[in-house]
Amino acid sequence: MIFAPASITCIFSPQIFDDPKNSGSIGVGFTINLGVEARKGNRITINGEDWSFSTLDYVVESVELDGVEIKADLPFGCGFGMSGAAALTVAMLGDLPYIKAADLAHEAEVVNLTGLGDVVTQTFGGIVVRKNAACPSLASVERFCWDKTLDFLILGEISTKDVISDDLKRKRIGDAGKKWTKEFLKKPTFENLFFCSNKFAEETGLAELVGDVVEAVESSGGMAGMVMLGKAVFAWNGFDALKEFGEPFRAKIDSCGVRRAEDEG
């Protein structure tokens, strides 16, 4: 069984070209100890249900598997890189070398516009700064390992494809993403991650989707930022404030990246 951690993107700058291996995003993200587990099966199932999507089908067909059984800890489409985690775990079940499997998962995400940088973050693990837009084997990254437990709240879905397919939105997000990635690298601290994340969200206009929630956490003495791209929030010392808007959960930052997990089945 293979486990890939969920990926939370804080800042990103989409870079899409003809070659998916040289496409992706510059930005900052981190992995948590919730995610996706996958093992070989006779058909494609997610949490016991017969269900699939284009990115997953792309990988299953590429590695010539009959099927896979996927267990997902979090919902798809809410900014936690679950499509990337699913693609990555399934790619790792094939007979490809480790890094080629990671590259395949990245390619599947880019081709289907379900994600641009999650697979790179999930391959390396921890706090990952993606300094170029490329597949894992070509990626230039800087990593940090912080022993932190964070609070999260999911409010709804946002389509990555809808946002990055709009040329004007992609240009605005791209410029802001490069700027705030550089600003974070000048001072790569826990507090500055929230500051730069929020500035990025404000400049791109995305902050309005979760602005009330972030403000409530900050008013209570915590820190919060928007999960990209999802209608969701990550926070420090914000659990009680988040409860006013829904059902929050906690997870630890995971610094290991994709790996083989113990199979209890």
Average pLDDT for the chain: 95
> Count of CB atoms within 10 A of residue 247's CB?
8
Flag whether pLDDT at 107 surpasses 90.
Answer: yes
The DSSP call for residue 253 is: B
The stretch 158-185 carries a mean pLDDT of 88
219 pLDDT band, cuts 50/70/90, is: very high
Flag whether pLDDT at 226 surpasses 60.
Answer: yes
Beta-bridge partners for 38: 2, 70
The stretch 136-165 carries a mean pLDDT of 92
Dihedral (CA of 229, 27, 193, 169) sign: negative
**Tens-place pLDDT, residues 14-54:** 999 999 999 999 999 999 999 999 999 999 999 999 999 99
Give residue limits of the domains in the chain.
Answer: 1-265
Flag whether pLDDT at 193 surpasses 50.
Answer: yes
pLDDT of res. 265: 42
The stretch 197-203 carries a mean pLDDT of 97
Q: Which residues have CB under 8 Å from 135's CB, separation 6+?
A: 20, 21, 22, 24, 102, 103, 106, 107, 119, 120
> Which residue type sits at 210?
V
pLDDT of res. 263: 59
The stretch 181-198 carries a mean pLDDT of 98
The stretch 96-107 carries a mean pLDDT of 97
Residues of the chain above pLDDT 90, percent: 91
Give the count of alpha carbons within 13 A of 86, CB side only. Answer: 33
Phi first, then psi: give them for residue 88, nearest 5 degrees.
Answer: -70, -45
162 pLDDT band, cuts 50/70/90, is: confident
243 pLDDT band, cuts 50/70/90, is: very high
Phi-psi region of 219 (alpha: psi -120 to 50; beta: other; left: phi over 0): alpha
Flag whether pLDDT at 88 surpasses 50.
Answer: yes
CATH architecture of the domain 1-265 equals 2-Layer Sandwich (3.30)
> Count of CB atoms within 10 A of residue 140's CB?
12
